[in-house]
Chain A
Amino acid sequence: MRKTLTLFALLLALVSLKATAQDRTITGKVTSSEDNTTIPGVSVVVVGTTIGTSTDMNGDYKLTIPPTAKTLRFSGLGMKVKDVPVGASNSMDIILDADVLKLDEVVVSAIGIKQEKKSVGYSTQTLGGEALTKAGQTNALSSLSGKVSGLQVTQSAGTPGASVNIRLRGVSSITGTNDPLIIVDGVAIDNSHDYSGNPDNLSNNYLSSVNNSNRAVDIDPDNIESVNVLKGPSATALYGINAANGAIVITTKKGTRKAGGGVNVIVGTKLNWSEVNKLPELQDKFVKGSGGNYASYQSTASGSWGPSGDTTYWDPNQPTPFNQYGQMVGATAAANTPGAIKYHPYDNVNDFFRTGFSMENNIAVSGGNDLSTFRISFSRLKDEGIVPLSNFNRYSLSLAGSSTITTKLTASGSITYTKSGGRRVQQGSNLSGLMLDLLRNTPSFDISNGNSDPEATSAYLLPDGTQRNYRGGVAYDNPYWTINQNPFNDDVNRMYGSIQTDYKANSWLSFTYRLGSDFYNDRRKQFFAIGSGAFPDGQVFHQEIFYRHVNSDVMATMTKKFSDNFTASLLLGNNFFGSYKQNMYVEGGLLNFPDFQNISVASNVITRESVNRYRTRAYYGQAKFAFKDQLFLDLTGRSEASSTLPKDGNTFFYPSASLGWVFTESLNMHNKTLPFGKLRLSYAIVGKDAPVYALKNYYTTGFFADGWTAGIAFPLDGLAGYTADNTLGNPNLKPEKTKAFEIGADLKFLDNRLGLDITYYNNKSEDQILSVPIAGSTGYQYQIKNAGSMENKGIEIMAYITPVKSKNFQWDITLNWSQNKNKVLFLADGINDLFLGGFEGSAIYAVVGQPYGQMYGGRWLRDGSGNIVINEADGLPIQDPTVGVIGDPNPDWTGGITNSFTYKGFSLSALIDIKQGGLIWNGTRGALNNFGMTKETETRGETKVFEGVRGYYDANNNLVITGDANTVPVVLDQSYYQGIGTGFAGPAEQFMEDGSYVKLREVSLSYSINPKLLKKSPFGSIDISLIGRNLWLQTDYSGVDPETSLTGSGNSLGMDYFNMPNTRSYGVSVRVSM
């Protein structure tokens, strides 16, 4: 009772405080100096207090102020802050100047803290959500290409939902993930790219199978308010593990109160048509056969080394179910055959692809009142790809809300449910791989058998029900067989979101608690019908991946203004993170009867289960000091303990410091030429833990294969068999460290008509935890240890220019340019090369002293001066029996140029994206030479003298190099192209090609209907855009679009082995708000 009374008294005191007699009320109107229009939403605050309001729709405000109030501060978005002393008058009309320097731009840090960009001591780049939605890309990340310096985006293929590889400032981890963190509203979300297939095959599964999505595909681009790209460790050090790869910080759209009440409704539709943008050139002159002779349609011959089509006829008197016009005969035979039909080559590849079509619809409803806001949105994407029957669908439902519960306590949260997946495309080194099957196919065989319907069974089935393909029914699947008979479907159900409460205890202390979670179930099913090339007895597998993580952050923030010149703040926090991932795999072979796509018809079933659990706990702190609004110092520290490290050494600490100095302010350089200039300097050390279960040695289920065949797997006839795992664990692992130094400047010239943001960085990663290969004679193949060290040095430039700016017309140019120089400094004692991924003889390696990710493989033998040695016995170059570096896939630099023009309601924007340098292994060409299908084999039979020096084998078979220039001609015939002229038998070196490109990445023409015209309609705005993507491509690469990746978002970029082509697309988008 007594307590209640006290509280009541307190409450009274609070109420009475509000009604002090000396208070007075100020009213006024805020207008813009530029065009005299009134400005709504301008914040009006009594300086030194929390008393404030904001202007209404008409720019009017009304504020009751205490007698102690001396100054009012007016601040509005895009306007210069203005402090006005309170005078005697109760009416204060204010004119605000536009802030052309945009100094109030806010960036969101990895941990979800908003900060004025002006005060940041490291490089970041912010994009509005529109930059990601404009081109209508399925995967939000792929829209970042060319728009951010230091960010390299590689769309792995043009198939629906294909994965996207993202790298910020190169790679920091030699064998670990190099994906930046994807953070949504302060909580990381999973961006795995899991392979499909038997886990015993490990990463080899990336080389074949289908192109699965990386999980960022589940983000609905229309839900994104803004994206802030934090490029270096300094920016992300506070966030913790994996921070070395930078972060993509996404802020989602939140509800806003609608002026005048009611709800905002936005409805949008995008339609997009896509087509193949580039295919390898093939020969269509020579028909199926060998040595210039015909091979019959039913023969299993694989090559197109037959006679020329010019002298070929079809004989209807020799019918075959493989060809509607009959067998091929030569001109002489045709002369004696009545009814012989002149042969023509089939254009299988171009006929196979269709125009893809995607449609995306979305609706968002938002609203609120003084205390609460909400936003609910739903979107639906249906993407039917360039490959018949392939598709990707995504449904996304989001809810976001916030509520001010008391003046001190607010709560907010958002939750997104996504359902995504589709019917995927077989690719890569895979007998069902569509490009492999399409490109190896001979021009004399019609894969469609005259059908235009991709589902027509007579294309891929013979009358007896067996497969119809160009090799008499064996080996490579007919592409129509694959799309109809070997479906792969995936279905992801995912939910992620976070809730947050903020409690402002008093003017200098506040608390935040944030709990986030992300979980999904990814169900995949693959069916290979009986009679498929790789699985003649059929196969079916189910793979079910379950992922869940929970992230908890508690933060206390203390801010103290010591004087007008000096402010300090301190943040202390605690973080818990735990993740769980389960991968269940069930595979059934030897199907008992056809066409029934259920694992119960399999007579040979294997199952695999794996569970990965991982947890971390961290304490962190950040101290910020601001002096005179011109010198900003940030210090952070984080102490993290991880479940994957040895118990007695599982905790590690990493600090960062950054300094921002607005020198134009300090030096009083208030002039028009350089109104704003800031220097940035930062240093950070970030840590990283070990992979799970890396401390011990284990046994694993017996699985034995040899690189050619599927092999055998235990249990075998009900008998269990375990074998010692090939990797040696290490009980003494310690955390990895990346040390990052960064210096840069932000400069704004000529009333912000010209801006320049330039950064130099130098990052060095040490003690990297590697699975280091060891000699097989140790009984193992790998040993986990702290070893590798690598550095990245680079320059990033972001510039913008506004050459023309008038009332109705404006022209803006934005430029991004970046160069990253990576160097592997050390791998492990005695180890100079480390396999990262790929095939035997053409793989990606880390090599000491070279940039990361070198192409490594078979090469020509060279003399001491680097000349290729030619065997004078046959005039052919000699192959080096050892493998080595054959090319660097890393680009010299990347850049993007955006030109935008706005005229009244119209805006036109074009982005040119450039990648300079970086070699690609064209394994497709290497293989196709063997089959006589590349364009270069069309001139078969011509002679060539290989450049190099002569050598011969003496009686003891030792090579003797004479040093004379080679003059021995070689006939480039079938035996050459099936010998060293193919990637199968010859060195991979000859198939390394320049992967540079210039592409017109995006063009958009938008029109916003003048709001004045809509005043009487129910619509608030109507925007219409025409969009084009990849409309033009300039490259010397002879294969598909060089923006390609066989292994998706993995670490081995630069490999093209029957990769799916990319697309160019055209679209239209309409957005209406009510």
Chain B
Amino acid sequence: MKKIQIKTRTIVLFFAALSLGSCKKDFLDVNDNPNLPEEVPVNIILPAAQASLAYDFGGDIARFNAIMAQNVTGVGRQFIGYNSYVFTEEDFNNLWNNMYAGNMSDLYKIMEKAKATPGAYDGYDGVAKIIMAYSLGTMTDLFGDVPYTEAFKGNASLTPKYQTQQEIYETILPELLNSAIADFANTGDDFVLPGGDDKIYGGDLAKWTSLANGLKARFAIHLTKINPGAAQAALDAINAGGLASMDDDAQFGFGGTYQNPWYQYIDQRADISYSSIDYYYGVGCFLSDTMEASGDPRYGAVIDTGGTYYAPGFPSALYMGDDAPVYFFTYFEQKFIEAEAKLLTGDDAGAEISLHEAVTANMEKLGVDSADNATYQTANVVWTGTTQDKLNLIMFQKYVANYLQPESWTDWRRTGQPNLQPNAGSTSPIPRRYIYPTNERLYNPNASNASTTMLTPRLWWDN
């Protein structure tokens, strides 16, 4: 009897086990991702987009361009190769992806979300467009032709076509900047202003407008080699309302839990020498050696000669401090553009004034004593000679002022100033462009005729 009871129970158990779960329709319904959201609001995307641009612009781009413009010397590991201009396409993978699949793609998402909710997010839209113009302009100045109109679209366009640099300069950048300024004029009831999530200007749209104008001036002056109207266009942009003082400088602050990219690089890798008194290597470089030789008071401001912040011979805390900002566009750079534009449009006297203002603005930014500034300018910023001499003076001062700024390599390529010679140990001339990254060559047939050298073809504005 007992036997049979067990048997019955066992059979019931078998059937119960068989039906386990199979009656529950949603047994397999566990594929909703609890780890990542499918949608997030624009004010959550904007700070990430700004931070990623700052880390890339102040990181890979700043380091590579600082090698090209001889702001620093590569002395360790991979940077020994870079110092003699030995680069492969792999060296640009991170940089490209961090820009295109990082901040630019996120900015595109903000622009799309703003489009989907007309009016409400025009403020974000405008901010996104200005940063997009900045990023796109940066990329075209490094690589030449780059994708834009078919970019960032994911599955909808897996092989984005490349825009010529001319098209980017003449059509896309002006469109982005103009449309941003127009967006800010839209002040409907449901208009949402960026606030603390805007790590650059804290939601101050007037400052964003002045940056848009300042960038128009920067992009315009890049074309001096090929476009006789470039200088006038730059002046027009500044006069339309560029940065009014260094309070308007576009910069991204670091500090606390997220350290400046130069700081991280020096602290974690240290394969670069910054000056002849560099504590690790003591290998000099053209810029710091020249500043030191000329008694430039900025030498002591950009190079930490006493090692008070980190170690002797490294960049000062203004540049490598863990809380140092990454500068995108400064008032003093705009003043240098103004000086160059005035000179090229025949306003010799105005150009001289703008140059002195530019140098002074840079000295002020660095906290150099005004008497030292005056002494230095009297001796070294002397407006004399031919127009070419004066241009060389402007470009040299801009080169010094733009310490560690990627812009210097662009200025060198379009003006040849200062007159840099290839680094010792190099068999190649100084590079004039970057190589397209591996994934563009392999997976985007539109990049199939991409350059594989650091020299050719030259960019459109460099011909």
Contact = CB atoms under 8 A, between A and B. Distances in A.
Interface string A550-585: 001010000000000000000000101010000000
Contact of A881 (B106, B269, B453): B453
Contacts of B38: 696-699
B351 to A, nearest CB: 35
Query: Contact size class for B?
Result: 35 or more
Interface in B231-256: 254, 256
B451 to A, nearest CB: 9
A779 B154 contact: yes
Nearest to B253: A717
B188 to A, nearest CB: 26
B151 A778 contact: yes
A614 B261 CA distance: 39
B39 A699 contact: yes
A777 B147 contact: yes
Given A719-B197, A722-B44, A777-B160, A693 B33 contact: yes
A882 B88 contact: yes
B88 A883 contact: yes
A99 interface: no
B98 A704 contact: yes
Interface in A585-637: 589-590, 603-604, 606, 609-611, 613-617
A642 interface: yes
Given A4-B1, A832-B442, A300 B280 contact: yes
A300 B28 CA distance: 59
Nearest to B50: A721
B100 interface: yes
Nearest to A535: B268
B31 A644 contact: yes
A953 B85 CA distance: 15
B253 to A, nearest CB: 9
B14 A503 contact: yes
Given A710-B264, A779-B152, A617 B28 contact: yes
B18 interface: yes
Interface in A883-934: 883, 930
Nearest to B263: A709
Interface stretch (A142-150, A977-985, A1019-1027): A977-985
B28 A643 contact: yes
Given A724-B109, A779-B154, A979-B84, A883 B37 contact: no
Given A610-B35, A706-B56, A721-B51, A513 B105 contact: no
Contact of A975 (B108, B153, B425): B425
A604 B257 contact: yes
Given A611-B35, A778-B157, A957 B268 contact: no
A248 to B, nearest CB: 27
A781 interface: yes
B382 interface: no
A31 B266 CA distance: 83
Contact of B80 (A717, A858, A979): A979
Nearest to B451: A881
Contacts of A706: 55-56, 59-60, 94-95, 98, 261
Contacts of B453: 881, 957
A338 interface: no
A713 interface: yes
A728 interface: yes
A704 B52 contact: yes
Interface in B136-160: 146-147, 151-155, 157-160
B461 interface: no
A778 B154 contact: yes
A871 B425 CA distance: 14
B86 interface: yes
Contacts of B18: 554, 574
A946 interface: no
Contact of A650 (B3, B28, B258): B28
Contacts of A880: 88
B428 A957 contact: yes
B106 to A, nearest CB: 5
B28 A641 contact: yes
B259 interface: yes
A1054 B81 CA distance: 25
B102 interface: yes
Interface string A709-748: 1111110110111111110100000000000000000000
B37 A699 contact: yes
A215 B160 CA distance: 44
A578 B439 CA distance: 37
Interface stretch (B4-12, B127-135, B333-341): B4-12
A501 B14 CA distance: 10
A874 B196 CA distance: 56
Contacts of A643: 28-31
B227 interface: no
B118 to A, nearest CB: 22
B443 A780 contact: no
Interface residues of A, number: 113
Most buried by B among A693, A777, A840: A777
A985 B258 contact: no
A707 B10 CA distance: 61
Contact of A779 (B1, B95, B105): B105
A11 interface: yes
A883 B93 CA distance: 12
A704 B90 contact: no
B444 A777 contact: yes
A41 interface: no
Nearest to A579: B30
Interface in A974-994: 975, 978-980, 982, 984-986
A709 B59 contact: yes
B158 A775 contact: yes
A185 B35 CA distance: 34
Interface in A839-898: 840-841, 858, 871, 873-874, 879-883
A11 B3 CA distance: 9
Contact of B6 (A405, A552, A695, A956): A405
A720 B46 CA distance: 10
B300 interface: no
A719 B47 contact: yes
A124 interface: no
Contacts of A707: 94
A408 B27 contact: no
Contacts of B258: 712-713, 716-717
Interface in A471-530: 474-475, 501, 503, 511, 513, 515
Interface string B49-67: 1011001100110000000
A831 B109 contact: no
A745 B396 CA distance: 82
B452 interface: yes
B327 interface: no
28 contacts: A10-B4, A300-B279, A405-B6, A409-B7, A475-B270, A501-B10, A534-B268, A576-B20, A590-B257, A606-B257, A650-B28, A699-B40, A700-B36, A704-B98, A712-B55, A721-B48, A774-B444, A775-B158, A775-B439, A777-B160, A778-B157, A778-B158, A783-B158, A883-B89, A956-B456, A979-B84, A985-B81, A985-B86
Please list the 3 inter-chain residue pairs (A to B) with the smallest Cβ-Cβ separation, ordered nearest first.
A985-B81, A721-B48, A779-B105
Interface of A: 4, 7-8, 10-11, 300-302, 405-406, 408-409, 431, 474-475, 501, 503, 511, 513, 515, 534, 536, 552, 554, 574, 576, 578, 589-590, 603-604, 606, 609-611, 613-617, 641-644, 650, 692-693, 695-700, 702, 704-714, 716-717, 719-726, 728, 773-781, 783, 830-833, 840-841, 858, 871, 873-874, 879-883, 930, 953, 956-957, 975, 978-980, 982, 984-986
Given A10-B4, A708-B269, A780-B101, 20 more contacts: A406-B3, A552-B17, A589-B257, A603-B257, A617-B27, A699-B40, A709-B264, A712-B254, A716-B47, A719-B197, A722-B48, A775-B158, A777-B152, A778-B100, A780-B105, A830-B443, A881-B453, A930-B77, A953-B428, A979-B81
